[in-house]
Amino acid sequence: MTDSRLNPKALIIGAPRSGSGKTSVTIGLLRAFARRGIRVRGVKSGPDYIDPGFHQAATGLEGLNLDSWAMEPDLVAHLLGQAADDTDLLLIESAMGLFDGIDGGAGRTGSAADLARLLDIPVLLVLDVSGQSQTAAAVAVGFKHYDAKVRTKGIIINRAGSERHIRLSRTAIEAAGMPVVGAVLRSDALALPERHLGLVQASEHGGIQDYIDRLADVMETSVDLDAVLALAQPVSLRRGDAAAAIPPPGQRIAIASDAAFTFLYPHLGAHWRAQGAELVPFSPLNDEGPALDCDICWLPGGYPELHAGKLSAANRFRNRIRHFAQMKPVHGECGGFMVLGTGLVDADGVRHVMTALLSHSTSFAKRKMNLGYRQVRLLADGPLGSGGDVLRGHEFHYASVTDPGRDDPFAEIADGTGQPLGLSGGRRGHVSGTFFHAIARTTF
């Protein structure tokens, strides 16, 4: 069944690999279409926290993650339907390469290609042609024929070195039967600043609006926007449901929100508000604590390792959250989990006292990347659900646990293919935490 209202158009922006420039292209296209008065919304395929912030900065509309591995198809359809409200155009940015994912079963790999098949959305391919010219046509043809259910409809040539380079690449690609709708010259001015977890967030980027305007200027002069719009097709909005969504953990949710605590998936906050919950922000970096009339305190992920000294000196925050935890639940994800421990060692090897609501310690001094999809089974009732519930999500951090502490484990954890990884996180009294970022529940 589909909605009776006029469906918006949608287009997936993909690439053969990470680092092809699709984020810059996507942000520039979002702003360029918004300038035209088109109600355009950005969507990110996969468990990326940072790109949705740039999408929102470019359009004024809240971003969204759609993840075919972590979200059941009905939840994907439900979230897409919500994102389509009052929207003319949805630009869905792929993570990594278009077909990259894990062995999660048919249609559940986490790749943007899954979304293309499930939602029947065409693909605009961003091809980084640096170091090649005519060979780019072979890549384009490969994408065209690799999977008949993933319809690559057009190409944007990116990072070309000259007009001659563009001409050689364009001629070969078009001779192979693929339309080229734009060609962008290489420019260091278009690069986004990065740090250890990826791009610097939009909220931290000084002059973000000027930067996005520069990207849009390039798209307007280098890309045929009418041709891109013509590639997008009305998306079929079948009715899904929110059964697999994570319910609000309380009616009033005190949520840490500042430069140290930023990683809350947009779909979680939106769903909680839709269910009648109120999110009450506070800033630990400003030495604020959770409002005592809230039902739960939530510490999302972020960059506490960059602000460890200031967090350690925030005595009012630490005292307030300890008092809150005597009466009501406190939960921390990733960076929030680190702050719930006894101490955090920063990149310089300096140890900073944290809240000690849990007994573990973490360190950022010796960086080791932990990255991948995760599935957890909760070991007790708590903010994410009841004991025995299974959730899917993601883990991405460089910090290590140097002392596991003496708390009860929060969950049993497995990787995205179901291989057991042991126990995760800790819980003591009303307090719980884990490096695991929850995305959705499982219902089957």
Separation of alpha carbons 349 and 417, rounded Å? 35
The pLDDT of residue 105: 86
291-301: pLDDT as tens digits: 999 999 999 99
Q: What is the 3-state secondary structure (H, E, C) of the chain?
A: CECCCCCCEEEEEECCCCCCCHHHHHHHHHHHHHHCCCCEEEEEECCCCCHHHHHHHHHCCCCCEECCCCCCHHHHHHHHHHHHCCCCEEEEECCCCCCCCCCCCCCCCCCHHHHHHHHCCCEEEEEECCCCCCHHHHHHHHHHHHCCCCCEEEEEEEEECCHHHHHHHHHHHHHCCCCEEEEEECCHHHCCCEECCEECCHHHCCCHHHHHHHHHHHHHHHECHHHHHHHCEECCCECCCCCCCCCCCCCEEEEECECCEEECCHHHHHHHHHCCCEEEEECHHHCCCCCCCCCEEEECEECHHHCHHHHHCCHHHHHHHHHHHCCCCEEEECHHHHHHCCEEECCCCCEEECCCCCCCEEECCCCCCEEEEEEEEECCCECCECCCCEEEEEEEECCEEEECCCCECCEEEEECCCCEEEEECEEECCEEEECCEEEEECCC
Biggest CA–CA distance in the chain, Å, is 69
Contact 357, 325 (CB under 8 A): yes
Size of the chain, expressed as the number of residues it contains: 444
Q: What is the 3-state secondary structure (H, E, C) of 264-275?
A: CCHHHHHHHHHC
Separation of alpha carbons 117 and 27, rounded Å? 24
Distance of CA 39 to the CA centre of its chain: 21
Task: List Cβ neighbours of 182 (8 Å cut-off, separation of 6 or more).
Answer: 156, 157, 219, 222, 223, 224, 227, 228
- Rounded mean pLDDT, 264-275: 96
Q: How far apart are the first and last CA of the chain?
A: 22
pTM: 0.93
Task: List Cβ neighbours of 427 (8 Å cut-off, separation of 6 or more).
Answer: 358, 379, 380, 382, 407, 408, 409, 410, 433
The pLDDT of residue 205: 58
Q: Is the pLDDT of residue 290 over 70?
A: yes
Q: What is the 3-state secondary structure (H, E, C) of 322-351?
A: HHHHCCCCEEEECHHHHHHCCEEECCCCCE
Contact 153, 46 (CB under 8 A): no
Task: Give the closest residue to 181 by CA, choosing from 218, 130, 225, 144.
Answer: 225
The pLDDT of residue 14: 98
Q: Is the pLDDT of residue 4 over 50?
A: no
Name the band, by pLDDT with cuts 50, 70 and 90, for residue 206.
low
Q: Please work out, in degrees rounded to the nearest 5, the angle formed at the alpha carbon of residue 188 by the alpha carbons of 186 and 193.
A: 130
Q: 285 is written with which tokens?
A: 């970096």
- Rounded mean pLDDT, 360-381: 92
410-444: pLDDT as tens digits: 999 999 999 999 999 999 999 999 999 999 999 98
The residues that are catalytic are 334
Q: Is the pLDDT of residue 349 over 60?
A: yes
- Rounded mean pLDDT, 159-180: 97
Q: Is the pLDDT of residue 151 over 70?
A: yes
Separation of alpha carbons 55 and 22, rounded Å? 12
Identify the residue with better confidence: 286 or 347.
286
- Look at 18-22, 47-51, 200-204 and tell me which has the smallest mean pLDDT: 200-204
- Rounded mean pLDDT, 283-297: 98
**At residue 81, what are phi and psi to the nearest 5 degrees?**
-60, -40
Contact 429, 443 (CB under 8 A): no
Contact 278, 291 (CB under 8 A): no
- Look at 158-162, 193-197, 310-314 and tell me which has the smallest mean pLDDT: 193-197
